[in-house]
């Protein structure tokens, strides 16, 4: 498989994301005089219509913004319903309270024991409030203007992109067998005669158009305290859901300070927990202490994998909602702790467990403007169509982010009322000596920190620009010693044999979605931007 894309070079601004029509929406905002946040928001809002298997109005959002002088982080994730308890989940899933569940098992305990579909994993959608809050702080054009294209696509329809159609088909197949009144609306909204729309087939969602208009006209107030909130409250009450109007009314986004580690003379930035960005930072911190020049390609890849395993082990053990549990973020990113973890990387594939640093499925986009503002934004309902619960008459699915909770009562991420779960979606940003290089991200659940590590390494160790760094062949680790590689890596002489000799169980994966979908924009020293988009999906990088 070849990835023939060339980078985009733009003198003024750029937008890049996984759906070309959405990228065009953001570019149009830039050309009309909007800034990078305006463009990112218009793109994100359009993506709920243009790529609904991966994100929707009922999802969450995280963002990093370079305002021209410094970085800002927004956690626009929702919390669990106030009525949700661990005991309720155990009863609903047929477990006994005394039964050991969801044992941590280090980085290998990647599959949460929470149910993935239906009402139990539904958390309050944070995306509409996130759109409003980003706009209130940084936006320069009227909020309602950012919805125009999304409403038009929802109301009049559009031909579905090929990559989106493939994801859509997998989501519809996953819906088969889901029985209950809470699932009744899904087929009416998201299927065509019971199937997913085919590539190029026109699809409309007029109910979503009406919902987006209400959000636009009320600054998202209607979603949390108005007619949409009332409809959601009523639907949950009728069909066994726990979310209430009070849960929606209590929702708030949280402004946070991004966290970073040094890597090859740069600063790599992620958002703090409850996201898994610290897993990528931990891995990069470990790798930064290794002499790349002394390592061959196979040994370097092996050490990347082992560092990533250690990063996941710590993230899965310690990451939780910092408002509800102590999270040792600073200790995890301490150079001394990274050195101690680095010493655990050997010549053999390992099965790492979490350390003790101190005792006691998604769309991604980035945008940049002529004034130097840059945005890294990620938005998701999780898995394909989230919970598969669709609010009748409103045209959107609710996320299933609650499946990221644990059922282990001693884990900091244990399911509890009004709590944010462990989040997989993570925006990234790169600086050098405090000056911006640019936003980047790779979406795809458990792949995301691995994609961040591989993209940053390709850029900083390999000297590649954003497009070439995205096109570089990838590997993926999920659990145990199984390691998936793309065909291009398998074709490198001796690479697979060398990895197998170290104990990795290597398999070649032909399905590109396994390896995530990424975007990146770098600032050019001479002015303007270089942008890259994912070659494995319907991505587009557009600029002017």
Residue 490: per-residue pLDDT: 94
CA distance 113 to 125: 21
Catalytic residues, by residue number, are 362
Q: What is the pTM of this model?
A: 0.94
**Model pLDDT, residue 2:** 56
- Residue 101 binned pLDDT confidence (cut-offs 50, 70, 90): very low
Better pLDDT: 266 or 177: 266
Identify the three-state secondary structure at position 365: strand
Mean pLDDT of 479-494: 94
Short-list 150, 167, 165, CA closest to 44? 150
The secondary structure of 95-112, three-state, reads CCCCCCCCCCCHHHCCCC
The whole-number average pLDDT for the span 208-237 is 98
Q: Say which residue, 534 or 104, is predicted with more confidence.
A: 534
pLDDT band at 109 (very low <50, low <70, confident <90, very high): very low
Take residue 71 and report the two structure tokens written for it: 């970085």
Dist CA 500 CA 494 (whole Å)? 10
Query: For residue range 431-448, what is the model confidence (pLDDT) as tens digits?
Result: 999 999 999 999 988 999
What is the dihedral angle through the alpha carbons of 125, 127, 130, 136, rounded to the nearest 10 degrees? Answer: -120
Task: Read off the pLDDT band of 258 (50, 70, 90).
Answer: very high
Q: How far apart are CA 136 and CA 221, in angstroms?
A: 13
Asked if 414 and 406 touch (Cβ cutoff 8 Å), the reply is: yes
Share of the chain above pLDDT 70, in %: 94
- Chain-centre distance for alpha carbon 398: 16
Beta strands in 150-220 (DSSP E): 158-159, 202-203
Using pLDDT thresholds of 50, 70 and 90, give the confidence band for residue 461.
Answer: very high
> pLDDT per residue over 24-34, tens digit each?
999 999 999 99
Q: What is the 3-state secondary structure (H, E, C) of 114-160?
A: CCCCCCCCCCCCCHHHHHHHHHHHHCCCCHHHHHHHHHHHHHHCEEC
**How far is Cα 98 from Cα 344, in angstroms, rounded to an integer?**
35
pLDDT reported for residue 4? 67
Backbone angles phi, psi at 8, to 5 degrees: -90, 130
Residue written as token pair 């969450």: 60
**What are the tens digits of pLDDT across the range 283-321?**
999 999 999 889 999 999 999 999 999 999 999 999 999
* Dist CA 453 CA 331 (whole Å): 20
Tell me the pLDDT band of 395, cut-offs 50, 70 and 90.
very high
DSSP 8-state assignment for residue 292: G
**How many helices, marked H, and strands, marked E, lie in the chain?**
19, 19
pLDDT at 107 over 50: no
Q: Shortest CA distance to 474 belongs to which of 460, 461, 457?
A: 457
Q: How confident is the model at residue 98 (pLDDT cuts 50, 70, 90)?
A: very low
The enclosing H or E element of 330 equals: helix 329-332
Q: How far is CA 64 from CA 116, 122, 380, 540, in A?
A: 28, 25, 16, 21
DSSP letter, residue 346: -
Identify the pLDDT of residue 95. Answer: 63
Distance between CA atoms of residues 543 and 368, nearest Å: 9
Distances (CA, A) of 266 to 144, 337, 370, 463, 470: 38, 19, 23, 13, 18
Query: Which position has the higher pLDDT, 482 or 353?
Result: 482
Q: What is the pLDDT of residue 510?
A: 84
CA–CA separation, 474 vs 502, rounded Å? 19
Give the rounded distance of the alpha carbon of 16 from its chain centre.
15
Mean model confidence pLDDT for the chain: 93
pLDDT in tens, 118-171: 999 999 999 999 999 999 999 999 999 999 999 999 999 999 999 999 999 999
The token pair at 514 is: 């396994």
Q: Which residues contact 186 (CB under 8 A, 6 or more apart)?
A: 175, 178, 385, 388, 389, 390, 397
Q: Where are the alpha helices (DSSP H) in 14-119?
A: 20-31, 36-50, 86-92
Q: Is residue 390 exposed (0-12), middle (13-18) or buried (19+ Cβ within 10 Å)?
A: buried
Q: Which two tokens stand for residue 291?
A: 């002499």
């Amino acid at each position: 498989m070849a990835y023939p894309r060339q980078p985009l070079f733009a003198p003024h601004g750029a937008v890049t994301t996984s759906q070309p029509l959405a990228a065009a929406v953001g570019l149009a905002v830039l050309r009309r005089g909007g800034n990078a946040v305006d463009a990112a928001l218009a793109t994100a809002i359009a993506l709920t219509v243009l790529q609904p298997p991966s994100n929707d109005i009922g999802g969450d959002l995280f963002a990093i913004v370079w305002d021209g002088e410094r970085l800002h982080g927004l956690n626009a994730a929702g919390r669990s319903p106030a009525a949700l308890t661990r005991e309720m989940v155990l009863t609903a899933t047929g477990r006994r309270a005394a039964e050991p569940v969801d044992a941590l098992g280090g980085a290998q305990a990647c599959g949460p024991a929470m149910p993935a579909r239906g009402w139990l994993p539904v958390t309050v959608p944070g995306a509409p409030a996130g759109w409003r809050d980003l706009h209130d702080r940084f936006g320069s054009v009227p909020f309602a203007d950012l919805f125009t294209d999304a409403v038009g696509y929802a109301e009049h329809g559009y031909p579905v992109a090929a990559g989106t159609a493939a994801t859509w088909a997998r989501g519809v197949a996953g819906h088969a067998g889901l029985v209950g009144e809470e699932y009744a609306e899904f087929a009416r909204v998201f299927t065509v005669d019971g199937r997913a729309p085919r590539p190029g087939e026109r699809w409309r969602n007029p109910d979503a158009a009406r919902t987006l208009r209400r959000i636009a006209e009320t600054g998202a107030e209607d979603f949390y305290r108005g007619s949409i909130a009332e409809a959601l409250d009523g639907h949950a009450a009728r069909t066994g859901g726990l979310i209430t109007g009070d849960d929606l009314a209590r929702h708030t986004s949280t402004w946070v300070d991004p966290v970073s580690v040094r890597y090859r003379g740069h600063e790599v930035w992620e958002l703090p927990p409850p996201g898994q960005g610290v897993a990528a930072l931990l891995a990069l911190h470990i790798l930064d202490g290794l002499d790349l020049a002394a390592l061959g390609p196979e040994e370097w890849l092996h050490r990347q994998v082992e560092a990533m395993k250690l990063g996941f082990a710590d993230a899965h053990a310690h990451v939780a909602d910092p408002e509800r549990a102590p999270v040792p973020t600073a200790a995890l990113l301490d150079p001394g702790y990274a050195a101690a973890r680095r010493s655990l990387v050997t010549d053999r594939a390992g099965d790492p467990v979490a350390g003790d640093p101190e005792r006691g499925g998604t769309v991604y986009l980035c945008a940049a403007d002529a004034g130097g503002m840059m945005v890294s934004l990620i938005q998701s309902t999780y898995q394909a169509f989230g919970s598969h619960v669709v609010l009748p008459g409103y045209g959107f699915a609710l996320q299933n982010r609650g499946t990221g909770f644990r059922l282990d009562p001693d884990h900091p991420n244990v399911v509890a009322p009004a709590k944010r779960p462990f989040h997989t979606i993570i925006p990234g940003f790169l600086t050098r000596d405090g000056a911006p290089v640019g936003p980047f991200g790779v979406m795809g659940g458990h792949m995301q920190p691995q994609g961040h590590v591989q993209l940053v390494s390709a850029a900083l160790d390999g000297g590649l620009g954003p497009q070439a760094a995205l096109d570089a062949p990838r590997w993926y680790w999920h659990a145990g010693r199984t390691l998936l590689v793309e065909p291009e890596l398998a074709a490198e002489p001796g690479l697979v044999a060398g990895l197998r000799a170290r104990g990795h169980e290597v398999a070649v994966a032909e399905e590109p979605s396994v390896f995530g979908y990424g975007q990146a924009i770098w600032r050019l020293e001479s002015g303007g931007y270089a942008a890259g988009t994912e070659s494995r999906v319907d991505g587009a990088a557009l600029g002017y």
